[in-house]
Structure 1
């Protein structure tokens, strides 16, 4: 059965994810079945929780675009089983072949399913920095996935992209113009967003969050992330946004969840530093306005420590 969603409803009233909600699609290894976000653009929304056996690592969004002359997939998924399940869902929607897979970054849940698609003869596209990050961390990502995914890890072989790029990669396929863009530094090396200019649709990847707390890593430049948002994300003028995690929505919602959170945390850490506060105290800065976000318990204090380490040298 083809499932559809009405994007304007999620934009007006964002759905609140909950880490305790059970698997939404128990007949499949996917956490949720793909939904049609706008015409020709589908997304299987992952759990806004850490990867677990129950969600099989489907805790990010796996999207696909039906162009009229083939299908483009955004994110391979965290393992072979997820990629195969996603391919089954694509076949239920269209008989057009998958012609390209785009990895939105170098994290395991974007790339560890690559070898399934390579077996199908499909090229994998990623930013050169994402490819390097995955190569550096592939063994660690794979081992972590095996621990939580158990039998769902079977068949997975860490495989990087087959095509890399810098700046932008333009695809003209069927009736669609698809722009794969390096908009600037976001939360991890090689983050890219997929922009459909005619549809005003942004598959933002991990440049944008709203239901899940944005993770801030040791190599994240939060000042740069805000600059990317202000100088590159906002000027696109997107009407529709599929974030890296969480339900499709609009710019107002992801602006509040991403730029709003990062700027708020930087402001609180800046005040703490000006008052002579140390790293130990930084973990306790007030982040209660964002306590409703999933993964708050896992990420809030860690984010504060990372931002303190970044800002004390600015």
Structure 2
């Protein structure tokens, strides 16, 4: 595959329409999508842009792996034991190189609940310390939530935190790849990290960056901090290729549009409301129509506005 073809494919992916209405794109597997090679050596199984359901098996984030020439590095443990095993099956179909390392992009269920599959294989699982703390504190409730929607597909899944943690960065040189796992600062959720491949100018961004679906703002998502981290640390990477936490691989301009620009837009609208003396009830109805085409808009837009209002009241 030539780099010109890859770039064209990525640009097309940036404009392709995802749909949260598709229940499953890969019926032969519990994975929602079959992994494909995004750039040479880097593969990703693109998750659904819908909330986690039995139909998509909780595969609603991107599960990626790097075939280095001297082993495989996996990015995200997966939302269940069954998903981790299915991803491993796909890796074995691509290469006979062993999986040597797994990264968790954060402490959310879709990143960590498959960890016990990987540790059973004797493979180290690496995450930021804040993500490890999240699993330790809330892992049982995260697992129970997954069991409610995934039912029999949850079989074999147990809470397993990362086996290796770091604070700022964790660097791996393996085969043909120099891999930098970086904590850039507060962003979407505790322990968010990015996987930076400087030689390929690619960032596997995790939930630092979203595309094709509306990003969720949680109770512990501080949007002002996320924007500061974006400007100070993420944007200066100037990556050519971005595999976001959700949505197809694309470029910095697209993830900026649907992450930074959205956060700034929503904070601007809520800020105007606060200046006019408006309250929480009105905040739920601020105009977010420029983003109404995104998947999960109906599920998340009003919640996002309410949480931003509650934050900005006290800034």
TM-score over 0.5 for the alignment?
yes
TM-score, normalized by length of structure 2? 0.97
Match of 1:246 in 2: 247
Distance 2:19 2:112 in 1: 25
Residue ranges of structure 2 left out of the alignment (5+ in a row): none
Match of 2:11 in 1: 11
Are the equivalent residues in 2 in contact too, given 1:7–1:37 (CA < 8 A)? no
Match of 2:288 in 1: 287
**Runs of 4 or more above 3 Å deviation:** none
User: What secondary structure is seen at the aligned counterpart in 2 of 1:178?
Assistant: strand
User: What secondary structure is seen at the aligned counterpart in 1 of 2:44?
Assistant: strand
Residue 181 (structure 1) shift: 0.4
Corresponding position: 1:184 with 2:185: yes
Q: How does 1:1-314 map to 2 (within 5 A)?
A: 6-12=6-12, 13-314=14-315
Are the equivalent residues in 2 in contact too, given 1:183–1:192 (CA < 8 A)? yes
Distance 1:40 1:10 in 2: 15
Residue 11 (structure 1) shift: 2.0
Residue ranges of structure 1 left out of the alignment (5+ in a row): none
Distance 2:158 2:42 in 1: 28
Residue 147 (structure 1) shift: 1.0
Distance 1:69 1:97 in 2: 8
Residue 6 (structure 1) shift: 4.0
User: What secondary structure is seen at the aligned counterpart in 1 of 2:239?
Assistant: coil
TM-score, normalized by length of structure 1? 0.97
Residue 299 (structure 1) shift: 0.6
Distance 1:269 1:195 in 2: 33
User: What secondary structure is seen at the aligned counterpart in 2 of 1:244?
Assistant: strand
Distance 1:305 1:233 in 2: 26
Residue 14 (structure 1) shift: 1.9
User: What secondary structure is seen at the aligned counterpart in 2 of 1:207?
Assistant: strand
Distance 2:168 2:53 in 1: 34
Per-residue deviation, residues 7-46 of structure 1 (Å, max 9, x unmatched): 5233245221111113100000000000100000000000
Question: Size of the alignment, in residue pairs?
Answer: 310
Per-residue deviation, residues 179-201 of structure 1 (Å, max 9, x unmatched): 00001111101000000000000
Root-mean-square deviation (Å): 1.0
User: What secondary structure is seen at the aligned counterpart in 1 of 2:79?
Assistant: coil
Distance 1:237 1:280 in 2: 39
Per-residue deviation, residues 135-184 of structure 1 (Å, max 9, x unmatched): 11111110111111111100000100000000111101111100000011
User: What secondary structure is seen at the aligned counterpart in 2 of 1:185?
Assistant: coil
